[in-house]
């Protein structure tokens, strides 16, 4: 019998307890760590609930499952568990994207496992597949919807015309959003997940703090309408690729064609397209957030650690050299909020051939559709326009047609 302790009894923690109790795999749920025992009096696992961390590091626990989230105290708890020679399973993307290399090394030196499948893509087995199945391939790119909360909000705003606030409230009630949902909304959650996948895929540390991260906080109902008019829908995408020894990575809202794979991914579902040099493109779809899908990934890691899969798996400490602009040419939808339009129009005509634009004098907005331009050029023009007194703000959305 293998003895498991679960740290945290929230959405995912309670889901893992449910799966352990339901399945008969010689796994015993021995302890559940919570902050405040009184809040869990009606829990059917109450007899094993504790608020004492010492109980978790006791001799009879074999596997520690960390589902508290955030950096502290999860970081300290995981380190102590590894030093006490316990396998550790976690869904903590904040921690793995920041301290993955150190914690994996600590697991290795203590001859135990550290698995974190549930940190990316909820119930989608994406880490195992990049790490193991694609081992023979050089990964060229990763593109994906990596956050369930924002995909849920964008879906509700697009299909049901639900307001942003109500959609976020439902995502929180359904247990998809983070404790502080700003990390979902501002793209940080997706960025952490993209950094984990890219670090594994490209075998160099890809730090999310060093690449462009933009969330859905500035997306308005009129942007969603405009995207529909252009034949697309807005999705928050994490994109990375590896070319000539450099990694390009970003998280941003993108207008994707309505017939594309990503346009069909709705609600809390995630989708990740990985391209390997030998296998070509592989697509992984499934529920990216929520109690039982995420618990499924955790449970699978528990089984892997019992079966003692893989001798060692480490992150590279060496940092990837990051390219800040994508070299791929694509279309762009640029929204300029202005005070006076004529100087801006002169600038735009100078810089874009075949200019396609709309001026809305009521909202003081110019909408530009720029065809087949690279990101560097769009950024240069945006910077130049932002220096004009007549320009208040500029937002550029990439338009992907396939």
Q: Which candidate in 31, 86, 193, 235 is catalytic?
A: 193
| Residue 326 engages ligand HSE in binding (rule: CB under 6 A) | no
Residue 378: CB atoms within 10 Å: 21
| Residue 16 engages ligand HSE in binding (rule: CB under 6 A) | no
Give me the least distance between CB of 152 and ligand HSE, in Å please.
Answer: 7
Q: Is the dihedral of CA 328, 226, 354, 344 positive or negative?
A: negative
Part of the chain binding ligand HSE (CB under 6 A), chosen from 53-61, 145-153, 350-358, 369-377: 145-153
Number of residues that bind ligand HSE (CB under 6 A): 11
Part of the chain binding ligand HSE (CB under 6 A), chosen from 172-180, 203-211, 354-362, 363-371: 172-180
Residue 193 annotated in active site:
yes
Which residues have CB under 8 Å from 235's CB, separation 6+? 145, 151, 154, 253, 254, 256, 262, 263, 265
Which residues have CB under 8 Å from 261's CB, separation 6+? 271, 273, 283
Give me the least distance between CB of 177 and ligand HSE, in Å please.
Answer: 5
The C-alpha R_g of the chain, in whole angstroms, comes to: 23
Which positions from 270 to 299 touch ligand HSE by CB under 6 A, shown as an x/- string? ------------------xx----------
| Residue 189 engages ligand HSE in binding (rule: CB under 6 A) | yes
Complex with ligand HSE: residue 266 or 316, whichever CB lies closer: 266
Would you list the DSSP string of 359-401?
A: EETTTTEEEEEEEEE-HHHHHHHHHHHHTSTTEEEEEEEEEE-
Q: Taking a C-beta distance cutoff of 8 angstroms, is the pair 248, 241 a contact?
A: yes
Complex with ligand HSE: residue 77 or 176, whichever CB lies closer: 176
* Phi, psi of 371, deg, nearest 5: -95, 135
Complex with ligand HSE: residue 8 or 148, whichever CB lies closer: 148
Coil, helix or strand at residue 50: strand
**Residues in the site for ligand HSE, rule: CB under 6 A?**
122, 147-149, 176-178, 184, 189, 288-289
Residues carrying an active site annotation: 193
């Amino acid at each position: 019998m293998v003895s498991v302790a679960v740290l945290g009894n929230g959405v995912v923690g309670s889901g893992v307890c449910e799966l352990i109790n339901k399945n008969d795999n010689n796994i015993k749920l021995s302890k559940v760590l919570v902050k405040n025992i009184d809040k869990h009096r009606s829990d059917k696992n109450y007899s094993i609930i504790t608020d004492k961390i010492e109980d978790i590091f006791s001799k009879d626990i074999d596997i520690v499952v960390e589902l508290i989230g955030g950096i502290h105290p999860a970081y300290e708890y995981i380190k102590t568990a590894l030093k006490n020679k316990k396998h550790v399973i976690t869904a903590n993307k904040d921690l793995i994207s920041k301290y993955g290399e150190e914690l994996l090394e600590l697991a290795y030196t203590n001859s135990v496992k550290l698995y974190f499948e549930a940190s990316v893509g909820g119930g989608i087995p994406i880490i195992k597949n990049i790490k193991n199945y694609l081992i023979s391939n050089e990964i060229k790119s990763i593109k994906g919807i990596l956050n369930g909360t924002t995909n849920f909000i964008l879906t509700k705003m697009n299909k049901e015309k639900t307001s942003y606030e109500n959609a976020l409230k439902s995502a929180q009630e359904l247990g998809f959003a983070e404790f502080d949902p700003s990390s979902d909304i501002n793209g940080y959650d997706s960025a952490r997940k993209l950094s984990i996948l890219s670090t594994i895929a490209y075998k160099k540390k890809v730090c999310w703090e060093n690449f462009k991260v933009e969330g859905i906080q500035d997306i308005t109902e009129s942007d969603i309408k405009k995207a529909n008019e252009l034949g697309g829908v807005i999705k928050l995408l994490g994109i990375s690729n590896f070319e000539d020894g450099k990694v390009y990575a970003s998280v941003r809202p993108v207008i994707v064609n309505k017939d594309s794979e990503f346009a069909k991914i709705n609600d809390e579902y995630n989708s990740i397209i990985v391209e390997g040099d030998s296998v070509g493109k592989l697509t992984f779809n499934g529920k990216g957030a929520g109690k039982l899908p995420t618990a499924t990934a955790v449970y699978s890691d528990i089984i892997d650690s019992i079966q003692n899969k893989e001798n060692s798996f480490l992150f590279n400490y060496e940092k990837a050299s990051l390219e800040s602009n994508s070299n791929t040419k694509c279309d762009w939808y640029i929204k300029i909020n202005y005070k006076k339009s004529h100087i801006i129009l002169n600038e735009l005509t100078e810089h874009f051939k075949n200019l396609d634009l709309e001026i809305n004098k009521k909202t003081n907005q110019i909408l530009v559709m720029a065809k087949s331009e690279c990101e560097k050029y769009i950024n240069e023009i945006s910077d130049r326009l932002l220096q004009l007194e007549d320009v208040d703000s500029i937002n550029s959305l990439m338009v992907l047609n396939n």
